[in-house]
Homo-oligomer: A and B are copies of this chain.
Amino acid sequence: MSKQQAPLALIDLNADAPCCPPLAQSQVPAETAAVLAPAFKALGDPVRLRLMSMIASAEDGEACVCDLTPAFDLTGPTISHHLKTLREAGLVDAERRGTWVYYRARPQILRQLAALLSIEPAAAAKA
C-alpha cells in the first residue's frame, strides 16, 4: 500500500499557543506530560539528537537523507527509522522532491520544549 506520502505529524499540540509555562514554575499537568514526553523521548537518543541538530542547523533549513546517512556508522534503514521517530514526535517534517527526501525542523515545538525547561533567574538564584 502506497500511502506514506502524507508526512503529517502525529502530535499537534496547537503550535500557536505558548502551551506551557516553565516546568519549574507550575506543575505540568498529566495531559501535557503525556503529550510532551514523547518529544523528549525522541531526543533521548544520541543519534536522533545529532540528526535533529544536523537538520535544524542545515544551510537552507533542510537536510537531505542522503547527506545525513553517511554521517553515521549505521545502515540506511536504521537512519530512516530514527527519522520516522522524529517525524512522529512532531519534531521534523519530511518532503520528497524528486529522488531525494528532505527533512526540516519544526521550530514551534522546539520553542515549546525550550520554554518548558527555561528557568527564570529568580529560581536559579534561590537554588
Could you list which residues of chain A lie within 8 angstroms of chain B, going by C-beta atoms? 23-28, 30, 33-34, 36-38, 40-50, 52-54, 56-57, 61, 104-107, 110-111, 113-115, 117-119, 123-124, 126-127
Contact = CB atoms under 8 A, between A and B. Distances in A.
A44 B50 contact: no
Copies of this chain present in the complex amount to 2
Contact of A110 (B30, B38, B47, B119): B119
Contacts of A117: 110-111, 113-114, 117
Nearest to A89: B44
A48 B41 CA distance: 11
Contacts of A57: 23-27
Contact of A107 (B26, B56, B124): B124
